[in-house]
Structure 1
Amino acid sequence: MLLIGALSCSCTEPTTAYPPRPVIPPDSVVTIAAGPQYMRGAMHRFFWGKHYRTVWHQPVRVPVVSLRKLVPGGLRPTEAGGSFQTKNLRLVDTNGREFVLRSVDKDPTKALPENLREGFVGRLMQDQTSVIQPYGAYIVPPLAQAAGVYHTNPRLVYIGDDPALGKFQKDYANALYLLEERPEGDQSTVASFGRSAKVESSRKVFTNLVLKADFRVNAPQYLRARLFDMFLGDWSRREDQWRWASFVTPAGGVRYEAIPRDRDHAFFKFDDGLLTHIIGWVKSNYQSFHEEIRLADVEGLNRAARPMDKSLLVYLSRAQVQQVADSLKKRLSDQVIDEALAAWPPEIRELSEAEFRRKLRSRRNQLPAVADKFYELLARDVEVPGTDQAERFVLESAGPAQVRLSVYRRGTVLADSLIGQRTFLTTETRTLKLFGLGGNDQFDLLDLPETNLTISIYDGAGQDGVRVVGKLPARPGVTVYNSGDGNVINLPKSIKVEAYQPKAEEFDAAGWLLRHRLY
């Protein structure tokens, strides 16, 4: 809860010593600091970081709103929620559109055992909330709009002792929030969600992706969103930080496009204290928002999203990745950055505008190099999942030290249709793993070149076939992992065949969700 000593009302209500919470009418303005408690002494800052303490301590003018007046017909609270840090309250309007109030201040101690929350560990963990730029989400929408990335549209509000909170009044009154649309369900009226009539969760989308090949993710669009994450320094991009706009394709399938949400860790500033700097060496995913995106740190910056990236970007070439990076760099012009920073409250602009202008321009200029490093990391060890339908995986030579993978839908009446294709260079890729998942899959090895690429074939569920169609080098570097489920395997001795028990995350579509922490 915010300290009431940092709050003053611009209305004409008389103030008294009692009650302890002043009565603040709607349609007024308060001047309030997001977290004055995070301003600490010089010794504490030396060891535990300067972070954004000055910003948290700076009072800003914020409108006091009533849920009954925020939109025509008002908003009704329906459900309390949130992560281990952010306190959320879901709201719905008269048309069924959902919104969410997200607390500006956080409480990370909820992730601790109860016996540690009130002691030194809990107090220190709470203090590290100051690594977050409390108004960072405010400048993301204009940047995302220019970048071509879907986004929410947060609005900074103060909720007083509003009777419209109903049963949530005790826990949610008298606090500073970001109010934004909740990307779920029918969003056909919201341009920043692609006007999708059906926005779905990551669990639903990944279930569909491995159910059958009719469901696809727009990989270049997802890549654009991921490079934008790196531009913002947002390292916490696990699967639940995304929603997905769905669109029916002319062929009757579904195309998914990524909607990033929850920008709490954008512009993260952690390593400016002696002890936090040391911690940052160990926790390399705790990437601070510096002027330079160090190429050596790109892997740590993207660790949380690595399972998603490996699955969703598997068919993109180096040239395609560079094309998206070049486009993003061009879109994020100096003018776009300046206009985004102008969205901050004047008090915050005075503190942070010069720093952020310098950092955002520098990070934008590095995007092509960062994208190339990102591609190299993903290309090193590649995993290609099929679906729970039948697919045909074809491996063949594409030139010296090059292997082309083509994955087709196995047809019964219609000809096989291409799902995805990519050429792997042995200068980039050292291991390639193919997972049949469900269905009766076929793996065909054509004229493979002599390479140092290690290829592993995992059959999964169903009765699968593996065969050689053409010539193989003396050492093809291929191993077939056979679960013994009635597979037909006709291979020369140069190809290893090993019996194995499929792991839970390798076997079928439900198991694949385990990789994404969604099952």
Structure 2
Amino acid sequence: MPCFSRVFLPVGLPAGLLAGLLFVSCSAPAQRGASGSALIRPDSTVVVAAGPHYQRSALYRFFWGTHYRTLWALPVTARVFNLRTAVPGGLTPIREGGSFQTKNLRLVDRNGTQYVLRSVDKDATKALPEALQQGPIGRLMKDQTSVIHPYGAYIVPPLAQAAGLYYTNPRLVYVADDPALGEFREGFANALYLFEERPEGDQRAVRSFGYSTQVVSSRQAFTNLVASSQFQVDARQYLRSRLFDMWLGDWSRREDQWRWASFPAPNGRVVYRAIPRDRDHAFFKFDDGLFTHIIGWVKSNYQSFHEKIRLADVEGLNRAARPMDKSLLAYLDQQDFQQIADSLQGALSDDVISQSLAVWPREVQQLAAAEFRHKLRHRREQLPAVAAKFYALLAQDVELPGTDEAERFVVEAVGPRQVRVQVFRLTPQGATLLHQRLFSSPQTRSIKLFGLGGNDAFELRGQPDPHFQISVYDGAGQDLLEATPAPLRSRSRLTIYDSGDGNTLRVGKTTVEKYQPRADEFDAAGWLLRHRLY
């Protein structure tokens, strides 16, 4: 029979989350601390506020924003996390981790499957020099954690499932002063966390990761992508994920915010599909204070989750992911963008939105569900326009890398203001078409081809329209660069950058410049510098 008790927890416990009175309902024997005093029982529930310390005066909020302070201070019901029963056989904590903001505890079950506890409260001051962390700058940075919705990640899984995307499954839990935490007890006890699967390794039992037998990090995926063309990304699935990000207002989508589910494909190939993780910056609310409003216009990536997406600044919303977007979406055309936007819009129905909001704690639903229902519906209607703007931005200046294997790049003038680029994989058995795309001016103004490693071939057919600035960078290896027919004069804005490492040039009057390749133009390892992964 459940028991009920009240426990007073004083201000100043770890993470500052436990000020006030907690209502506890339980059905298991209480844990006891080192002193033998009764503590919160496992398999019980508590009512606790994630961050009452973010409450501020009206004057302070006028200058530095109201943000989500009310939600941070709102007591919500959460289940007490029990390491012994959370999964069959229990969990063992193995490693502390996390970024500059989030505190993580990695856990493993008896089968070696890993999970993670991610702190609901954040602390960005760790990115500051130690001398500044406790001063005014540190206090202000800590206070601005209130721009994050404390329970935003909680509603993403049902939305992602409806959208046909992969996702983690966070559950809101309260970690008490549990002896099973072992050496991590002091640092992690008495706080709210999101408990979820860690997307890595063999996930054949996890539907939300596509039942993939091998989930890898962005570092591993991108290392393979530039090492061999046998590895490819499902670009349409990635684009669907990116449009979903914009719908959520999630602007922090740098490379490390992703994992990649791998799947076998014909002829020994491997296809990667994106698994977004870490939704801390979805539903960001920043510009509702005088100073933060000004900062938001200067730092245009700090975009707030409003009823309307700022079409004039889709570039800012996606700045963190731009290197990935340029690499992974280079061969999708305007029709692809519009088809996927229309499909995504249709999948995110009113019913789907309402059902997703129902997974919030009851207290949060009462306070925020109506607002979010309204905003999500209106932002959904903008998806086609957002996709069109996103495509236009990416189409302006295009970069097309090869790999460290041998490829053949064919650049062909096919009509006024049009050029087609094809990329083939070269093997002793012949050439296999990997990618192709027709580019049109004025949508596209520049195209850069990067051979990276391997003995590549670049074939230039006809005279590309002078509206295009086309640049060829040979990279490593002994490459063949050939124009057919060789131009007698250079009408086009075509430049070949030759590193002078034994290339064969048959390009007539085409402009050739000798150059020393930059690190991120030279080979696969260097290309990873563009993705902050090497």
State the TM bucket, normalised to the shorter chain: over 0.9
Q: Which residue of 1 aligns with 2:168?
A: 152
Residues in 2 aligned to 1:115 and 1:268: alpha-carbon distance in whole angstroms: 29
Change (3 A) 1:20 1:132: farther
Are the equivalent residues in 2 in contact too, given 1:47–1:276 (CA < 8 A)?
A: yes
* CA apart distance, 1:74: 0.3
Q: Which residue of 1 aligns with 2:533?
A: 518
Residues in 2 aligned to 1:478 and 1:21: alpha-carbon distance in whole angstroms: 78
Which of 469, 472, 475 matches 1:457?
472
Residues in 1 aligned to 2:204 and 2:296: alpha-carbon distance in whole angstroms: 42
Residues in 2 aligned to 1:101 and 1:26: alpha-carbon distance in whole angstroms: 16
Partner secondary structure for residue 186 of structure 2: helix
Q: Does 1:6 align with 2:20?
A: yes
Residues in 2 aligned to 1:243 and 1:255: alpha-carbon distance in whole angstroms: 13
- Residues 264-285 of structure 1 show CA distances to partners (whole Å, capped at 9, x for unaligned) of 0000000000000011111111
* Equivalent runs, 1:364-375 vs 2, <5 Å: 364-375=380-391
Q: Which residue of 2 aligns with 1:438?
A: 453
Q: Does 1:423 align with 2:451?
A: no
Supply the RMSD in Å over aligned alpha carbons: 1.6
Residues in 2 aligned to 1:3 and 1:94: alpha-carbon distance in whole angstroms: 31
Are the equivalent residues in 2 in contact too, given 1:231–1:367 (CA < 8 A)?
A: yes
Q: Does 1:447 align with 2:458?
A: no
Q: Does 1:340 align with 2:356?
A: yes
The amino acid across from 2:264 in the alignment is V
Are the equivalent residues in 2 in contact too, given 1:448–1:471 (CA < 8 A)?
A: no
Q: Which residue of 2 aligns with 1:86?
A: 102
Residues in 2 aligned to 1:21 and 1:130: alpha-carbon distance in whole angstroms: 34
Q: Does 1:269 align with 2:280?
A: no
* Equivalent runs, 1:61-460 vs 2, <5 Å: 61-412=77-428, 414-460=429-475
Give me the TM-score of the superposition, normalised by structure 1. Answer: 0.97
Change (3 A) 1:456 1:366: same
Q: Does 1:469 align with 2:484?
A: yes
Partner secondary structure for residue 328 of structure 1: helix
- Residues 298-328 of structure 1 show CA distances to partners (whole Å, capped at 9, x for unaligned) of 0000000000000000100100111111100
* CA apart distance, 1:65: 2.1
Q: Which residue of 2 aligns with 1:504?
A: 519
% same residue: 65
Residues in 2 aligned to 1:203 and 1:7: alpha-carbon distance in whole angstroms: 45
Partner secondary structure for residue 410 of structure 1: strand
Are the equivalent residues in 2 in contact too, given 1:4–1:21 (CA < 8 A)?
A: no
Change (3 A) 1:78 1:244: same
* CA apart distance, 1:477: 1.0
Partner secondary structure for residue 498 of structure 1: strand
Give me the TM-score of the superposition, normalised by structure 2. Answer: 0.94
Partner secondary structure for residue 363 of structure 2: helix
* CA apart distance, 1:11: 3.8
* CA apart distance, 1:23: 1.5
Change (3 A) 1:63 1:21: farther
Partner secondary structure for residue 279 of structure 1: helix
Are the equivalent residues in 2 in contact too, given 1:81–1:87 (CA < 8 A)?
A: yes
Change (3 A) 1:170 1:24: same
* CA apart distance, 1:450: 2.9
Residues in 1 aligned to 2:336 and 2:454: alpha-carbon distance in whole angstroms: 31
* CA apart distance, 1:27: 1.8
The amino acid across from 1:445 in the alignment is L
Residues in 2 aligned to 1:22 and 1:397: alpha-carbon distance in whole angstroms: 78
Residues in 2 aligned to 1:126 and 1:22: alpha-carbon distance in whole angstroms: 32
* CA apart distance, 1:20: 13
| Gaps in structure 2 of 5+ consecutive residues | 1-14
* Pairs aligned (count): 514
